[in-house]
Amino acid sequence: MPEIIRDHLLTCLVFLPLIGAVVLMFMPKPAESPADGHGTHQDSSSPADPRAQAIRWMALLFSLLTFALSLILLFRFHSAKSSYQFVDGPYNWIKQFHVHYYLGIDGISLLLILLTTFLSVLCIGYSFSVKQRVKEFMIFMLVLETGMLGVFCALDLVLFYVFWESMLIPMYFLIGIWGHERRIYAAIKFFIFTFIGSVLMLVAIVALYVKTGSFNLVTLLTPGTQPHHLLSLISPHVLMWMFAAFALAFMIKVPMFPFHTWLPDAHVEAPTAGSVILAGVLLKMGIYGFLRFCLPLFPAQAHQAAPLFLTLAVIGIVYGAIVAAMQPDMKKVVAYSSVSHLGFVMLGIFSLNPLGITGAVLQSINHGVSTGALFFIVGMFYDRKHTRLISAYGGVKRAVPILAAFFLIAMLSSIALPLTNGFVGEFTILQGSFISHTAGWKYTAVATTGMILSAVYMLWMFQRVMYGPLDKEDNRSLPDLVWREKLVLAPLVVLIFWFGCYVTTWTKPLIPTVDSLVSNVGPASIAERRASAASILEGTAGKFAIIPLTRGKLGGK
């Protein structure tokens, strides 16, 4: 590998898709079909336009290259280290304000980067079915990828903010141009929601700079910096406000109840690839924000606010699941299921222990995989019948058995059946929150009902779509999957079982990062120490009676 690439691997990774977008700009525009860009209708297509085909393959090529580059990151990543790796910078960017160009990743960002590059390949591969404005679509997809990758790599707050905002724009257009009926409403709603949060975050970033003189995350977090820990210069009261501003931005992005209503609209109206990226990656940026900024910068505040977040997370789990069950639209069911799943992730984060946070990161990836698969599947239904209404289907398993099989697997992963990815994430989170000193068994018990509710809404939807008599005439002739669609879904299924059966591959780079993150955040309960200490087993016997539960309401002795 050339030295310049090796030394600037992250920069190459982040900007490779952008280069792809620039290349696409110079490619000849395909002849536009007369229809005015309503959705991704297959039937309005003429025989494949070679220029459109060239653009598609070029976009796919660049996304594949980016994915390959991210795999190099995976292989070169030192799993034992908890510090930032592949660090690029800091280089002066805006010298007067000490803004730097500064990239670096740890275990958490590594997994999210892999998810991003992986889903981008699948989305671009799937979007070969897009017929309107192919060139612009692919350009926006690639620009979006650069924005997302930048978010996961940036170690400078301003740089982070720039990437954070820059990925709003292509997403806005993806929803607004290639979306469904109410796309304009959804696009604007998505933009304004996110923007309100991020403006507040900008205020907090600036305030942080004013107080400490640094935008550099590493400097801010190094304990030995002059004169001492920079953040200790700030009064706790001010820190709380800063925490709140950051947290609000991320809560909207996650989204947590009650800031979730942009999500169903955006998910439903976005084109399939947009929904997959939204659910798969964009929501994870909120999760990432909590892990990268809120917890390390404001550990005491995170502790203090944990009950609030845990409560909202648990409400989100139950509420999202119940509302999901009542939706008539398949995409809305999946969208609300995201609210529920992300509730689990937030529960894991605010458990503030290694088990919970590891589970949260795993579940973020899992959610990207399984919800991504579900959105692809709903998109495939839509491509065939131009409706997402559950009532328009029924008994179609007979017509599309392969699609049904993929649907079943994605559904099982979504309802966290053991040996699928969802179970590993969900159970780790629940076990983490159970032994947590912040959450404990009460929150966990409520959250666990999500296990039942997810089965209710998913099974019910599956039954109404797939089972029953095949009584609608036009459903009899629904075509089953073509090879391109199988190629999109198959890798997701592989990941579902890889994560589910052998998660060690993915936890290895993650655990040192999470451990060092948690070690800064606060004290552990006895059960938590029992879970993390290596040699607790001898002499445990005498300590049963003092676990928190026995002291609490359940116990007496």
Residues 6 or more apart whose CB falls under 8 angstroms from that of 533 comprise none
Q: Which of 166, 385, 470, 486 is in the footprint of other proteins by CB under 8 A?
A: 470
- Write down the least CB distance from residue 418 to other proteins, Å: 4
Per-residue contact string for residues 295-324; x = within reach of other proteins by CB under 8 A: ------------------------x--xx-
- Write down the least CB distance from residue 189 to other proteins, Å: 8
- Write down the least CB distance from residue 395 to other proteins, Å: 6
- Write down the least CB distance from residue 253 to other proteins, Å: 16
- Write down the least CB distance from residue 164 to other proteins, Å: 22
Q: Which of 51, 419, 498, 522 is in the footprint of other proteins by CB under 8 A?
A: 419
- Write down the least CB distance from residue 354 to other proteins, Å: 5
Q: Which of 71, 445, 490, 494 is in the footprint of other proteins by CB under 8 A?
A: 445
Residues 6 or more apart whose CB falls under 8 angstroms from that of 525 comprise 435, 436, 437, 548
Region label for 468, one of left (φ > 0), alpha (ψ between -120 and 50) or beta (otherwise): left
Part of the chain binding other proteins (CB under 8 A), chosen from 33-41, 236-244, 374-382, 391-399: 391-399
- Write down the least CB distance from residue 329 to other proteins, Å: 12
- Closest CB to other proteins among 201 and 416? 416
Structure tokens at 87: 């660090």
Q: Which of 258, 389, 476, 484 is in the footprint of other proteins by CB under 8 A?
A: 258
- Write down the least CB distance from residue 206 to other proteins, Å: 24
Q: Which of 116, 364, 444, 513 is in the footprint of other proteins by CB under 8 A?
A: 444
467 lies in the binding site for other proteins (CB under 8 A): yes
431 lies in the binding site for other proteins (CB under 8 A): yes
Residue 435: name the closest of 343, 346, 549, 517 by CA. Answer: 549
Site for other proteins in 496-555 (CB under 8 A): 501-504, 507, 511, 515, 527, 530-534, 536-538, 540-542, 544-545, 547, 549-550, 554-555
Name the 3-class secondary structure at 90. strand
Residues 6 or more apart whose CB falls under 8 angstroms from that of 496 comprise 369, 370, 373, 409, 410, 413, 420, 421, 422
Part of the chain binding other proteins (CB under 8 A), chosen from 56-64, 165-173, 428-436, 478-486: 428-436
Q: Tell how far CA 415 is from the center of its chain.
A: 17
- Write down the least CB distance from residue 514 to other proteins, Å: 9
The DSSP element (H or E) to which 340 belongs, if any, is: helix 330-349
Burial class of residue 25 (count of CB atoms within 10 Å of its CB; 0-12, 13-18, 19+) = exposed
Number of residues that bind other proteins (CB under 8 A): 77
Structure tokens at 362: 């795993």
Beta bridge partners of 105: 85
- Closest CB to other proteins among 135 and 332? 332
Q: Which of 28, 223, 307, 468 is in the footprint of other proteins by CB under 8 A?
A: 468
For residues 537 and 557, is the Cβ–Cβ distance under 8 A? no
Separation CA 525–CA 545 (nearest Å): 14
Write b or e for each residue in 55-67: b if 16 or more Cβ atoms lie within 10 A of its Cβ, otherwise e: bbebbbebbebbb
Q: Which of 456, 498, 512, 516 is in the footprint of other proteins by CB under 8 A?
A: 456
116 lies in the binding site for other proteins (CB under 8 A): no
Q: What are the angstrom distances between the C-alpha of 487 and each of 126, 420, 498?
A: 9, 20, 17
Site for other proteins in 330-349 (CB under 8 A): none
